[in-house]
Chain A
Amino acid sequence: MWERTLQDLIRGLRANKKDENKFIAQAIAEIRQEIRSKDMELKAGAVLKLTYLDMLGYDMGWASFHVVEVMSSPRIHLKSVGYLAAAESFTPETDVLMLTTNQLKKDLSSKPEDVAVTLNGLSHIITPDLARDLAHDLIAMLNHSRPHIRKRAVIAVYKVFVKYPEIVPYGITRLRERLEDTDPGVVAATVNVLCELVQKNPKDYLALAPQLFHLMTTSSNNWMLIKIIKLFGALSPYEPRLVKKLQPPITDLISTTPAISLLYECVHTCITGGMLQGASGNALARMCVTKLAAFLQDPDQNLKYIALLAMTKIVPTHPELVAEYQDMIISSVDDPDISIRMRTLDLLSAMVSRTNLQTIVQQLLSHLVRPDASASGLPSATQSLSQYQYRTPLVSATPKSTNAPSQSPAYRLTLSQRILTLGAADTYDNVVDFEWYLSVLVDLAYVAGVPVGGAIRDQLVDIVARVRAARRFAVQLMVKVLTDESFLANATEDSGCPEVLWAAAWICGEHCGELAEPQKLLPHLLQPGLVALDPEIVAVYLQAATKVFGYWAAEQAGTFELDDLPRIRDAVDVALERAGTFATSPDIEVQERAAEMVNLFTFVRADLAAYRPKADAGFDMSISLGAGFGDGFNEVGFGDAPSQDPGFPKSLYLIRPLFSAYELNAVAAEAQSLVEIPEDLNLDAWIVSPPREFTDHFEPDDVLEPKKKKSKKSKEKEHGPGKGKGKSKNHRQPDGGDVAGTSQPTETAEERAERERRKAERRERLRDDPYYLIDDRPSRSSSVNDVDSIPVVRLDDLPPISQAENTAARLPSLRNRSPAPQTFVIDKTGELPQGSGSRPVSRPVSRLNNKDDASSLRRSASPAVPPPSFPLYEVEDDVPGAATPPPIKVTRAKKKGSSSGKKKRTKTGDSTATSPLVE
């Protein structure tokens, strides 16, 4: 029989490149035969071949036992094959490892060659069990007569320490002796090992400092010096005296050493050890930075790389020193080497400040611009918007272009994320000019070519909510985005940022008051091309379209003339037609919003059609209103006002109040936690009690009773705020409003009666049972279940609601108020903007969703973190009070209240919070 050796196998592999898998399958089949052979040579040959195949990715876990067999061979040339195979293939889970303990012990007391092989192999395969069993043998080995074995033993002992820490106190003294070994190799290995140990537990090794210090001052072995300096870097934070002691020799090293690797370690240790503080420290820091800056210009890229690494460490304590070299550093971002770029990015992020943010971001952004567009340098949003049309899609970018690294998607992603983090750091603390930053965000959406849309969206929405002064500009910018066909087209590609459209639509809808020509935006918000977008975005578009129309219609009503009517009709018709196509969307959210929109607009259209300029209008309209909206709507007062003829189609005011009741503001991250839980609200109680088996026997009354009460109480509580919430939602968005309101858990009368009956029965039965405590108080259940008596009614009747609903300032920038407070109604202060902009930014979307819940947040309750001062912009700041601006009250009085006056109030008061469901 002809067995292949490893060499044969390798040659075979090289000869069978085309059919490698088949060849290897055959080879493995042979190995399986050979490995069972009784001939140890053959077995070892098979194991070696297997080890080679393992490197190529073929599993050899099945052969572990045979590997152990080969390890146990007395012949060194076979044994080393076994240990090599074990080191390569064994994992801590390999079960045969426990068979090796005795073998290892035996090998450790064998010939020096065997010991060397064993120590090396053991360092790889060691497990906690092996470490425990072999610890003493290995520690004894530290005093072996041969330096080579001592060296290996030092490292093996380290492995034991890692796997079996209990032995450290015993072993460390023996290990320490190795620092004074006669062989420099053993000393170096020991320092090496200590360097690893110190990282995990610095305090335990402080006692080594004198010895190490001695080594540091006497040794000239750079390799070891680096390790010793590293060691001190880990030790000095725990021993202040060490810092003083180290400063002179390290300063000496820094100024004399030609090795930048050593210099880097010295700088690093200086920083972690706090040696750069104080006057002498500053001088030292300056020296470091000067040296590093020289390396920055070195043609050797490795030195440049290390210099950047080291500078990143110095920046936090001495930013001004590094800032001197800002230009040099920024130019490193252009380096063709991506490693250098990444380090530079780190350094730039560390050194960013108010003064240089703009420069840095601009520079980074220019990297994202494609080469063909980079000529113009991308200074502003408008420019990049126009550039964009000529942008080539990502796929066609040639990877081998001169600017190759910046074309790699991962790099672009990193760069884009870096820009976003730089801007958003500390809630935009470094941003001075928000119009500029908003432009940057939009630019980024255009040029990134990587999916960072979500982050951009969040920041856009966040900024618009926080920085009032930037809203107008933001809206202008967003209109540009929304009307840019090419953006929409590109957004649906993989590399696009469709989420930005989400933000754009949302911002334009929410702040439609800032729109110059709302009606022109409408077609864009409802364009058929939207279907390619994510349904979530389409839903926002539809909602925005409704808002924009509502705003525009109300505006038209203010200056209504008969000539306007056809235009309005056209707009409604177009909107209806477009919305109709979305009403059949497979996505439920889009469908629902579109359907609502269709209904609202159908009503408006009917009203417009029925509109007669003169006195007969009122009657017609009341009919159409009744037809369109049913009784509920009539009650509110849109329909039953035949006597009051406003002189314009009343339905023009239909939509806006649905949206403009509240202004969305940033809510403090801790707002929710500051909401006081009403004392009688039990959040742990069931809202709807789970179905309960009324087993007649084993339900003790004293357990059941409180639970029931709780559940009823919670029901009651739920009822109260639930309705309030429902209302508030109705103000904001007509769609999601009544969810909370209508889903009250109810118990039918029969069920209740049945339950009462059972309870009474049980109580009767248990009355004489000494093991049960009977609650003798009269049951309050009946009163609790009386729906009319629970506070909902009271809340509804509270005057502040209706008052507050009519309050709003005329200008969006002055609007700051939500309805007046109720005792624990969720809406009122939920709208309170957070006190400062310096809180951590959380996801804006969820914040917006939370706003309804963030109730009863008093301003005084939120911690008084001073807002970061923006010279130009007012960051979202809380304006307390100002709940009910007087002018509106005046108007209201004039209009003689009552239900019918509402529409006119809206006319004069503008943007009121009229809810059709309140009165």
Chain B
Amino acid sequence: MIHAVLIFNTSGVARLTKFYSTLHRSSQTLVHQIFSLVSTRAPGLCNFLDAPELESFLTAQEADGEKLRVVYRNYATLYFVFVVDSAESELGILDLIQVFVESLDRTFENVCELDLVFHFDEVHHILSEVIQGGLVLETNVEEIDHQVQRAAKARKESFASANPLSLGSGVAGGGSRASGLSSLGWLTEKLAGVGTK
């Protein structure tokens, strides 16, 4: 099972944290801890974080004492970190991270950190097409992308029908209210990933 998915940038700022088990209670510490270890690793080292500093942290969480493993991958300014248990294959998870990033890329077109910053909810929606409740839902990028688009379209239509006056660009989340936002339209247009695609 996958216990957590974390995305943070090279300065340690969390861009997405998703916990699938009760690791949750100390999420900030975990992110911080993993970041401090990951960020000091030179490129070219292996993608599995196995540090004595983490041992107590990861084993103590599980009642049955099963040790969790940290698999990470670095893309440009972002670290993608998956915390998994022994039911997952390390190398398989490494591939899964790739799948997730490819899905992000398809949605955002040349995904960069800013996309993740401003579309935190959208990233969650994409992630939910890859992983549900800690289990892998789909590993096929095509299929993931298809479902992401379909869900986005549904949200967009729903939003449009609820806000007939909107410009149809505020789909990124329920909270982006296009009405009264015209002055900021350039921003929403530029950044509302799926909507503008």
Contact = CB atoms under 8 A, between A and B. Distances in A.
Query: Is the pairing of A and B real?
Result: yes
Interface of A: 2-3, 5-8, 10-11, 14, 41-42, 44-49, 51-52, 55-57, 70, 75-78, 80-81, 84, 88, 91, 113, 116-117, 119-120, 123-124, 126, 148, 151-152, 155-156, 158-159, 185, 188-189, 192-193, 195-196, 199, 222-223, 226, 230, 259-261, 264-265, 301-302, 304-306, 309, 336-340, 342-343, 404, 408, 410-411, 413-414
Contacts of A336: 42, 45
B135 A192 contact: yes
Given A119-B132, A152-B132, A192-B136, A413 B121 contact: no
Contacts of B111: none
Interface in B107-124: 117-118, 120-121, 124
Contact of B151 (A113, A185, A230): A113
A596 B124 CA distance: 73
Contact of B53 (A46, A126, A156, A408): A408
Given A45-B176, A339-B49, 5 more contacts: A6-B172, A123-B133, A196-B1, A264-B90, A343-B50
Contact of A45 (B28, B137, B143, B177): B177
12 contacts: A5-B177, A7-B172, A41-B174, A44-B174, A77-B162, A77-B171, A185-B137, A185-B143, A189-B135, A193-B135, A302-B46, A339-B50
Interface in B121-165: 121, 124-125, 128, 132-140, 143, 147, 150-151, 154-156, 158-159, 161-163
Nearest to A119: B132
A88 B154 CA distance: 22
Interface string B16-33: 111010101001100000
B191 interface: yes
Contacts of A192: 135-136
Contacts of A77: 154-156, 158-159, 162, 171, 173-174
A158 B155 CA distance: 27
Contacts of B40: 404
B52 interface: yes
Nearest to A51: B121
B90 A75 contact: no
Contacts of B139: 188, 223
A302 B47 contact: yes
B62 interface: no
Contacts of B132: 119-120, 123, 152, 155-156
Given A7-B191, A223-B139, A261-B89, A339 B155 contact: no
Nearest to A9: B175
B133 A6 contact: no
B45 A337 contact: yes
B121 A48 contact: yes
A46 B175 contact: yes
Contacts of B154: 76-77, 113
A808 to B, nearest CB: 49
Chain A CB within 10 Å, residue with most, of B16, B45, B91: B91
Given A6-B176, A223-B92, A302 B24 contact: no
Given A7-B187, A193-B135, A185 B91 contact: no
B128 A120 contact: yes
A284 B150 CA distance: 48
A199 B88 CA distance: 12
Given A6-B176, A81-B121, A411 B52 contact: yes
Nearest to A226: B89
Point out which of B121, B125, B175 has the most chain A C-beta atoms below 10 A from its C-beta: B175
Given A7-B187, A339-B49, A342-B51, A52 B120 contact: yes
A257 B117 CA distance: 40
A457 B154 CA distance: 69
Most A C-beta atoms less than 10 A away, residue of B20, B42, B50, B143: B50
A185 B48 contact: no
A823 B64 CA distance: 49
A49 B133 CA distance: 23
A813 B14 CA distance: 66
Contacts of A343: 50
Given A77-B162, A155-B132, A408-B53, A2 B45 contact: no
Given A7-B187, A185-B143, A340 B24 contact: no
Interface of B: 1, 14, 16-18, 20, 22, 24, 27-28, 40-42, 44-53, 55, 87, 89-92, 94-95, 117-118, 120-121, 124-125, 128, 132-140, 143, 147, 150-151, 154-156, 158-159, 161-163, 171-177, 180-181, 184, 187-188, 191
Nearest to A263: B91
A175 to B, nearest CB: 13
Contact of B48 (A151, A152, A339, A410): A339
Given A55-B16, A57-B28, A84 B124 contact: yes
A762 B189 CA distance: 99
A52 B119 CA distance: 10
A609 to B, nearest CB: 60
B60 to A, nearest CB: 15
A91 B176 contact: no
Given A41-B177, A76-B158, A192-B136, A338 B51 contact: yes
B173 A6 contact: yes
Contacts of B136: 188-189, 192, 223
A561 to B, nearest CB: 60
Contact of B138 (A70, A158, A185, A302): A185
A155 B46 contact: no
B141 to A, nearest CB: 12
A195 B87 contact: yes
Nearest to B40: A404
A261 B16 contact: no
Contacts of A10: 117-118, 120
B50 A338 contact: yes
Nearest to A188: B139
A404 B92 CA distance: 29
A338 B49 CA distance: 8
A261 B91 contact: yes
Nearest to B138: A185
A123 B124 CA distance: 14
A80 B16 contact: no
B46 A339 contact: yes
Nearest to B50: A339
Contacts of A337: 41, 45-46
B135 A48 contact: no
Which of B53, B55, B117, B133 neighbours the largest number of chain A CB atoms within 10 Å of its CB?
B133
B139 to A, nearest CB: 5
Nearest to A84: B124
B123 to A, nearest CB: 11
A306 B151 contact: no
Contacts of A148: 147
Nearest to B155: A77
8 smallest CB-CB distances across A and B, nearest first, come from A123-B133, A45-B175, A261-B91, A301-B46, A339-B50, A81-B174, A77-B155, A44-B174
Contact of A410 (B24, B52, B161): B52
B176 A7 contact: yes
Nearest to A338: B51
A76 B155 CA distance: 6
Nearest to B139: A223
B89 A81 contact: no
B115 to A, nearest CB: 12
A80 B122 CA distance: 10
Contacts of A2: 180
Contacts of B89: 226, 230, 261, 264-265
B150 to A, nearest CB: 8
Contacts of B117: 10, 14
Contacts of A223: 92, 95, 136, 139
A339 B53 CA distance: 11
Contacts of A76: 154-155, 158
B191 A124 contact: no
Contact of A116 (B55, B91, B151): B151
